[in-house]
A and B are shown apart, each in its own frame.
Chain A
Amino acid sequence: MDMKVAAKKLGLKERYAAMTRGLDWETTYQPMDTVYPYDKFEGIKIHDWDKWEDPFRLTMDAYWKYQAEKERKLYAILDAFNQNNGHLGVTDARYINALKLFLTAVTPLEYMAHRGFAHVGRQLRGAGARVACQMQALDELRHAQTQIHSLSNYNKHYNGFHDWRHMHDRIWYLSVPKSFFDDAVTAGPFEYMVAIGFSFEYVLTNLLFVPFISGAAYNGDMGAMAFGFSAQSDEARHMTLGLEMIKFMLEQDPANLPIVQGWIDKWTWRGVRMLTIVGMMMDYMLPKRVMSWKEAWEIYFEESGGALFKDLARYGITIPKCVAQATIEKEHITHQAWTTFYQYGAAAAFNTWIPEKEELDWLSEKYPNTFDKYYRPRLEYLGEQAKQGKRFYSTTLPMLCQCCQIPMFFTEPDDPTKICYRESDHNGEKYHFCSDHCKEIFDHEPEKYVQAWMPVHQIYQGNCFKPDVDPTAEGFDPLAAVLDWYNIQFGRDNLDFEGSEDQKNFDTWRQTAKSNG
């Protein structure tokens, strides 16, 4: 009688080794340096790629299996949400403006992350690192697609969702996230891994996806909750890849330490600056709030990031020095950013507003050291002006920081009443910065940052109008011409929430949903 003996299954570690490194080979027709031309010029020394450990040990077959399961869950929720007009169940139509900002600012970065990891996944010569990067490249593409898909339902009902990709390449505040990622993907593969894999994914991404998406759920948006947490389930793997890359570089050669430390310092600050927008979304754009930006910063940066840097101290890594300034600024930046967006609300692709009284009270409670003293009086003044029919819109263009590209609204670390200005001279030209840290980044690589596409400069140079526009014509309105080039529809996509089409439609539809009238 034949007995079928089941072959003994390999353990997780052996299975992973066989399915990744076991499939790799040393090239012989071409030297390895020709096949992998980009992984040496940055000065990072790697002696033995076999020392790379991928902690999750996910093989490609298991990857497809679990990703498919995530997609099934996600689309089941999306279908249910859309079939039941779930958008009418969100707390308040103001919330939807946070999604407009998300779609125009964040989703295109997911796609850029896909491109970045696809590139790095080709260029690193270690198979373990390459496989992990290829999985991440696929994850990032999935994130871009699921976000576009989820948010497309809002485009059927609300303004400002209609041309996010076009806007991402043009609108002044969207150059902040765009230039951040352009900076990362134009670096070498190791710097990219520190920029995105470590500094962004490990140190900062929790601040974007965890409290903000938990906040979306709290505000009744099952669609955003579903894509956010589905994306974040990949993020845990990404964070681990970023941390593994740091450990690997530091263990391979002591000469790597100063290079890695420099990148961590640079990219922590680049990320912190960009997250100003996320902080503003949490403090001002979620009608029901889970936690303040300051609280999120304390949990996910100070506590969790602190533990991480303490752990990495054994390699000689120190906490980036910009953290001291970021710690002071956690009580200021969201208020400074929202006040700026409110004033530039005619040139934004979403609606802005002054928070209601109970929201101002919440901010006073969450920011006891700063809000009542510096920011509440300004917001109340602007609100009072609006009530008198004098809603303020700034019609001049702000100076931008040459590095982070954010308008110069940040204040001196030791004086919140004084705008912080720094400058550097390079080849006879003057460049402006919002902080010592942005200036330092520029001074280290001026040839890179002098090439930045600065939205305000470009407007003044006449590069932000449609081709048939004649700026010398009588009665020429430059703001209208720029908005037309952005594809922002004046009076629908921009201006105050009060009196907006979204506000009226939402109220009407919600009434219809609640009664037969």
Chain B
Amino acid sequence: MSNVFIAFQTNEETRSIIEAIADDNPNAIINEQPAMVKIDAPDSLTIKRASIEEKMGRDFDLQELHVHLITLSGHIDETDDEFNLSWLN
């Protein structure tokens, strides 16, 4: 089993994004570092638009993630509603 990860800048918007990820991925480990937050998860990680909208209290386009993203690893599968990271092996 390998970890996938994603890291965001620490700011107001990503606070909601990270909370939503933590709720939707109970296995994820949230690692706070200076000015950034790195999230590791075994095998896969799912980011859901609906959960972020719930936390933010506004509409959210998953492509807005690009503005705050620092880095990631794993294969990406993205639709309007979900952003998935996974390893196939």
Interface residues of A (CB under 8 A from B): 11-13, 55-58, 62, 66, 69-70, 73, 206, 209-210, 213-215, 217-218, 225, 229, 232-233, 235-237, 239-240, 243, 290, 303-304, 306-308, 310-311, 313-314
Q: Are B34 and A214 in contact (CB under 8 A)?
A: yes
Nearest 6 CB-CB pairings of A with B: A307-B2, A217-B35, A55-B76, A218-B34, A311-B89, A66-B66
Chain A residue nearest to B11 (CB atoms) is: A73
> Is B28 an interface residue, CB under 8 A from the partner?
no
> Is B27 an interface residue, CB under 8 A from the partner?
no
Q: Are B78 and A239 in contact (CB under 8 A)?
A: no
- How far, in whole Å, are A58 and B67 apart by their CA atoms in the complex? 13
Residues of A within 8 A of B73 (CB): 239, 304, 307-308
Q: Are A214 and B87 in contact (CB under 8 A)?
A: no
CB of B84 to closest CB in A, whole Å? 10
Q: Are B77 and A209 in contact (CB under 8 A)?
A: no
Q: Are A232 and B87 in contact (CB under 8 A)?
A: no
CB of A59 to closest CB in B, whole Å? 10
Residues of B within 8 A of A217 (CB): 34-36
Q: Are A210 and B3 in contact (CB under 8 A)?
A: no
CB of A219 to closest CB in B, whole Å? 9
Partner of B87, one of A225, A239, A311: A311
Given contacts A11-B80, A240-B76, A308-B73, contact A210 B36 (CB under 8 A): yes
Chain A residue nearest to B10 (CB atoms) is: A217
Give 21 pairs: A residue, B residue, CB < 8 Å, sorted on A.
Answer: A12-B80, A55-B75, A55-B78, A56-B66, A56-B76, A62-B63, A66-B67, A206-B71, A210-B36, A213-B35, A214-B35, A217-B35, A232-B69, A233-B66, A236-B69, A239-B73, A240-B76, A306-B2, A311-B75, A314-B88, A314-B89
> Is B9 an interface residue, CB under 8 A from the partner?
yes
Residues of A within 8 A of B5 (CB): 304
Q: Are B68 and A290 in contact (CB under 8 A)?
A: no
Partner of A310, one of B2, B78, B79, B80: B2
Q: Are A225 and B71 in contact (CB under 8 A)?
A: no
User: From DSSP, what is the main secondary structure of chain A's interface residues?
Assistant: helix
Indicate with 1 or 0, residue by residue over B22-52, a CB within 8 angstroms of chain A CB atoms: 0000000000011110000000000000000
Q: Are A235 and B71 in contact (CB under 8 A)?
A: yes
CB of B20 to closest CB in A, whole Å? 18
- How far, in whole Å, are A11 and B81 apart by their CA atoms in the complex? 10
Residues of B within 8 A of A62 (CB): 63
- How far, in whole Å, are A232 and B69 apart by their CA atoms in the complex? 7
Partner of B71, one of A12, A218, A232: A232
- How far, in whole Å, are A310 and B35 apart by their CA atoms in the complex? 30
Residues of A within 8 A of B3 (CB): 303-304, 307
CB of A28 to closest CB in B, whole Å? 35
CB of B27 to closest CB in A, whole Å? 15
Residues of B within 8 A of A70 (CB): 66-67
